Amino acid sequence: MPADGRPPLLQLTAVTRRFGGLAAVDGVDLALGPGALLCLIGPNGCGKTTLFNLISGELAPTTGEIRFAGDRIDGLKPFAIARRGILRKFQIPGVYADLTVAENLRIAGHSRQLRGVGETDARTAPAALLDLVRLSHRRHVLASDLPHGERQWLEIAMVVAAGPRLMLLDEPTTGMTAAETCATVALVRDLHAETGVAAIVIEHDMAFVAALNAPCAFMLRGRIAIEGSFEAVRAAPLVRDAYLGAA
């Protein structure tokens, strides 16, 4: 049960995924409340991406169950899970390079209607999202002409425009400069605060995770070993030894 006492939006119970004799995800229990923000961290190969694949339906658990808004979703196809409101950054069509920033957002908003989510509200209308992701001045620029960081921001905005209840963001700062990473912290914070959409973020950049200052779950060898604030997780000897080092 989430700390605020509300029923979880997402709940994983004893979720395991085996590939032959290897348990890439091993008995994971995880509960995420409505509107919550969580950073999922851990060394390469610890099971983070496999966990995302299980939540989004790219893979089915070997054992255990996954519930979303009270309904069991493990074993459903990705499109069926997306219809329920779990959207992963690459599960909507990627950025359309030959269309403008504004046109990309309009297409993403149209996918919301196709999924039967309903009308776009003021917070997720294209103009509002352009402001939130710092791209209002780029609305008429072709996506192909955006620098890497701004293209990443557009992709995140497209996920939001499509009307998720839960966003899965896999390493959103990969390839970014330090300045772009810093701006992405503010962007994710603003989107979360303004839209109230729950989000799980996989991230390796500890400067990003520290600045975001959201609750963290640390994975190691397929299990969630520690959960808590970033400061509490970073201070744990297991985390320092396995991932963060002594810094």
pLDDT tens column, 65-74: 999 999 999 9
Residues 1 and 123 in one domain: no
Residues 48 and 81 in one domain: yes
3-state secondary structure (DSSP) of residue 229: coil
Instruction: Note if the pTM is more than 0.85.
Output: yes
Residues 77 and 138 in one domain: no
Residues 9 and 84 in one domain: yes
* 182 occurs within a structural domain: no
Least confident of 4-8, 80-84, 179-183, 217-221: 4-8
User: At 224, which amino acid appears?
Assistant: I
What's the CA gap between 174 and 172, in Å, rounded? 6
Residue 247 has pLDDT above 80, yes or no: no
Of the candidates 136, 127, 175, 132, the residue with the CA atom closest to the CA atom of residue 156 = 132
Residues 77 and 141 in one domain: no
Which range, 52-56, 82-86, 130-134, has the best average confidence (pLDDT)? 52-56
* 181 occurs within a structural domain: no
> What's the whole-number mean pLDDT along residues 202-221?
93
Task: Return all residues near 186 (Cβ < 8 A) that are at least 6 apart.
Answer: none
Residues 200 and 123 in one domain: no
Q: Which two tokens stand for residue 62?
A: 């070997």
* 180 occurs within a structural domain: no
Residues 76 and 196 in one domain: yes
Residues 233 and 246 in one domain: yes
Least confident of 82-86, 114-118, 155-159, 203-207: 114-118
* 183 occurs within a structural domain: no
* DSSP H stretches of helix in 85-132: 101-114, 126-132
Of the candidates 37, 53, 28, the residue with the CA atom closest to the CA atom of residue 220 = 28
Using an 8 Å Cβ cutoff, are 168 and 200 in contact? Answer: yes
At 110 the pLDDT is 81
Residues 8 and 84 in one domain: yes
What's the CA gap between 201 and 214, in Å, rounded? 10
Over residues 22-72, the pLDDT tens digits come to 999 999 999 999 999 999 999 989 999 999 999 999 999 999 999 999 999
Q: For residue 222, is it left (φ>0), alpha (ψ between -120 and 50) or beta?
A: left
Which range, 4-8, 175-179, 240-244, has the best average confidence (pLDDT)? 175-179
DSSP at 7: P
Residues 141 and 208 in one domain: no
At 182 the pLDDT is 93
Query: Would you call 236 exposed, middle or buried from its count of C-beta atoms within 10 A (0-12, 13-18, 19+)?
Result: middle
* 77 occurs within a structural domain: yes
Range of the domain at 38: 1-88+166-175+188-247
Average pLDDT of the chain, as a whole number: 89
Residues 57 and 98 in one domain: no
What's the CA gap between 172 and 149, in Å, rounded? 9
Counted domains in the chain: 2
